[in-house]
Chain A
């Protein structure tokens, strides 16, 4: 893999919460155009990895490079402006803003009215249900609708890299499949994706390459078809003996 093809590169990242050593030297690479997944049990450090890349949590040491530029410990608004968007854990819809305003918050840094309009049409195509609910307050949407809105809101910044933290969590099985389909669709339109999931099966079937995280360390990585065949992965994450 040559350097130019890399969208994101994380090198030996260490993160602490007070005395808790949450990330113990994480390294990972996200090539341009790929879907990369990060799986692991509760408390493994998946969310911390994403929030540190986004600039919400400070790294103690290590390096994060985005499109060849060092973005380690840059403030979150700078990181977003450079082209990284996130679907945060738990959706984090603005409950007191309408669906339309939530989407416009996603486009906060943009000034190209026409482009914003185009992207609105695009997310309505992905999630037609949102269009019917534009004037409804975000807090009154159902969990599934909130997840669609969280994904759409992130897309409204027209990101180069989309980070998603457990987008399938708490959704009905049918909707889970829909979300993974949408992820593929978004990727097909050219957006690179870093996907964090508890649903290892869904994630590994959707992504091209995967990392397995355990208590702050990457213990396994490889192309997803290999990980799906891996005995340890099968036992620990796919629920098959």
Chain B
């Protein structure tokens, strides 16, 4: 692999990793509080991309407004999913919520097929022209979109860390991750904090979905499946429940995917397999993930 190709791969790996990280955070935050794997999370990403698409094509909004509206819409969707599907099951056995999560995922996909249609739509018309330009960096040809995606991702991750570690609601989110009843005793409304957590994770997933759609410029009702699954693996890899773990796991997974194919082009067809190999290895040798601690027993 030449230096320029390596540089190209490096940027692609970082961008893909960043996307996994953005999506993984929603899984890890919800799991940290409810011990629930929100299978519908990948589909929020898909709805986010469609919202951005229709914002521009149907409502003729400028792309940046449409993107912001779509991210807010994703947040609202996440909040709604919790209220409608999971909140009524808080006192039920965990398996009920898990099955409901799978059902919610099927519902969102079917809903998208019916309302948006099953035929993939090109996202190229949504992506502003300047992002499609190519610049040459040390001989490597890199799309402006790559820098834009990376910068946006890093900014969003920083914003998330700020919310979680520097704000009052973030403090409450960290508190309920270890002790729900005691957080309630502090006068905090548990359902609102959980709802906020869903909204926050879903906003990031929506943003991730839009960037994903810009990079692989088409959208379809099942587009959330693979990135959702990979991001989930990234969350497990990083140590599910840990936000920094999800970020690290996302970047490592994305980078590995790109680099392995970069170094061994003959393996390109197996690209999607790596993530699952990692999942199996981590479950075998370090089920708590690289940054995960043993989960405290919930009372």
On A, residues with C-beta under 8 Å from B are 54-56, 75-77, 80-81, 85-86, 88, 92, 94-97, 101, 104-106, 108-109, 153, 157
Instruction: List the B side residues contacting A88 at CB < 8 Å.
Output: 182, 185
Q: Is the CB of B171 within 8 A of A77?
A: no
Cα–Cα distance between A106 and B190 once the two chains are bound (Å) = 15
Q: Is the CB of A157 within 8 A of B184?
A: no
Q: Is the CB of A76 within 8 A of B177?
A: no
For B, the interface residue count at a CB cutoff of 8 angstroms equals: 19
Instruction: List the B side residues contacting A77 at CB < 8 Å.
Output: 184, 187-190
The interface centre, meaning the residue of A76, A85, A109, A153 with most chain B CB atoms within 10 A of its CB, is A76
- CB-defined A-B contacts under 8 Å, sample of 16: A54-B185, A55-B184, A75-B184, A77-B184, A77-B188, A80-B184, A80-B185, A80-B187, A88-B182, A94-B174, A94-B178, A97-B171, A104-B168, A105-B188, A108-B188, A109-B186
Identify 15 new A-B residue pairs, CB closer than 8 A, beyond the known A96-B177, A108-B186.
A56-B181, A76-B181, A77-B184, A88-B182, A88-B185, A94-B174, A94-B182, A95-B178, A96-B174, A97-B171, A97-B175, A105-B175, A105-B183, A109-B187, A153-B186
Instruction: List the A side residues contacting B272 at CB < 8 Å.
Output: none
Q: Is the CB of A92 within 8 A of B179?
A: yes
- In B169-209, which residues have CB < 8 Å from any A CB? 171-172, 174-175, 177-179, 181-190
Q: Is the CB of B179 within 8 A of A106?
A: no
On B, residues with C-beta under 8 Å from A are 168, 171-172, 174-175, 177-179, 181-190, 296
Instruction: List the A side residues contacting B174 at CB < 8 Å.
Output: 94, 96-97, 101
Q: Is the CB of B178 within 8 A of A76?
A: no
Select which of A56, A75, A80, A95 is within 8 A of B186 by beta carbon. A80
User: Provided the pairs A92-B179, A96-B178 are in contact, do residues A86 and B185 lie with their beta carbons within 8 angstroms?
Assistant: yes
Instruction: List the B side residues contacting A55 at CB < 8 Å.
Output: 184
Q: Is the CB of B178 within 8 A of A101?
A: no
Instruction: List the B side residues contacting A97 at CB < 8 Å.
Output: 171, 174-175
Cα–Cα distance between A88 and B189 once the two chains are bound (Å) = 18
Instruction: List the A side residues contacting B182 at CB < 8 Å.
Output: 88, 92, 94
- Distance in Å: Cβ of A155 to nearest Cβ of chain B: 12
Closest to B296 in A: A95
- Distance in Å: Cβ of B26 to nearest Cβ of chain A: 20
Instruction: List the B side residues contacting A80 at CB < 8 Å.
Output: 184-187
- Distance in Å: Cβ of B170 to nearest Cβ of chain A: 10
Q: Is the CB of B184 within 8 A of A56?
A: yes
Instruction: List the A side residues contacting B171 at CB < 8 Å.
Output: 97, 101, 104-105
Closest to A76 in B: B184
Cα–Cα distance between A105 and B188 once the two chains are bound (Å) = 8
